[in-house]
Amino acid sequence: MIYTEKDDREYKDKLRARIQQLKKERNAVILAHYYQRDEIQEIADIKGDSLALSRAARDTDAEVIVFCGVLFMAETACILNPNRIVLLPVKEAGCPMVDMITIDMLRQKKKEYPDAVVVAYVNTSAAIKAESDICCTSSNAVELIRSIKKKQILFIPDQNLAKYVQSQIPEKEIICWEGFCPTHIRVHEGQIRAAKRLYPDAEFIAHPECEPSVLALADYIASTAGMIKYVEKSKAKEFIVGTEYGILFELRRRNPDKRFYTPTEGLLCANMKLTTLGWLAHSLELMEYRIEVPQEIRIRAKRAVDRMLNVFADKK
């Protein structure tokens, strides 16, 4: 028997119907990051970047939060919602950057810089957040760090985002960790120059997790949500997109008259792409995989997350 495209469509239609049924039965909400597969973004109740999804997790009335993303995102939802069930459809969906810093490493660095404010990128584990003073996302890092009164900042764990923040706030002393995003690090200056030659009328928009040499060529630097907002307002009709290609789904949906190009085929986060309709249905069917954060860690981590959210409490 040959499995055809029609069979695939019918199978996915059945999965979508099953997911919708289970979602109602479980009183669940499906959150999805912009880097998720198209099919997951299509069925999600709420899509967004890390900041938007953190707010959505905090504000939801659903009894069950199904987080289509990676582990640190589901942990953040759990930190903010201790009385709700938080599910991560694929338990192996992690973030390599998260593993580039450990508790012992952070504690040692804090001894070296006892007066520094520890700012943890949300791309960190709950345990690391618990050891930090405040959290940030790529969309609010500059504004948040500018609001901190102390001059010295220990920024963990993304060095490229830290360097970008430093370029925007030269009066601060940003101590950079040596972590990085394995996806954004694949973008190189030569690729961007080649893409600009190929598409001379296109604007280059870049994520601040890219290297400084890449950001220097950008027409606009922003988080995923920031990119989406910028493209909607821009008069340009073509864009070279310097972030994980999952964002193209939302960019194309909102801007059907505009064209988008990726500078390299390497802009793919394998962990983000692990979640499928099948795994989402499985998650709701069996209520797997439940993410839990020990209470001692959760309370301390929540303080850091709450401080971030409170800084931007009036900005939606």
**Token representation of residue 233:** 């307002």
How would you class 258 by CB atoms within 10 Å of its CB: exposed for 0-12, middle for 13-18, buried for 19 or more? middle
**267 beta partners:** none
pLDDT of res. 49:
87
Q: What is the pTM of this model?
A: 0.92
Q: Could you give the domains of the chain?
A: 5-94+273-292 (3.40.50.10800), 97-180+297-311 (3.40.50.10800), 184-268 (3.40.50.10800)
Q: Is the peptide bond before 289 cis (omega within 30 degrees of 0)?
A: yes
**CA 178/CA 136 separation, integer angstroms:** 17
pLDDT in tens, the chain (316 residues): 676 777 678 888 999 999 999 999 999 999 999 999 999 999 999 999 877 887 888 888 899 999 999 999 999 999 998 999 999 999 999 999 999 999 999 999 999 999 999 999 999 999 999 999 999 999 999 999 999 999 999 999 999 999 999 999 999 999 999 999 999 999 999 999 999 999 999 999 999 999 999 999 999 999 999 999 999 999 999 999 999 999 999 999 999 999 999 999 889 999 999 999 999 999 999 999 999 999 999 999 999 999 998 887 655 4
Crossing angle, helix 71-80 and helix 50-59, to 10 degrees? Answer: 30
Q: Which spans in 30-70 are helix H?
A: 38-43, 50-59
Q: How many residues does the structure list for the chain?
A: 316
pLDDT of res. 50:
78
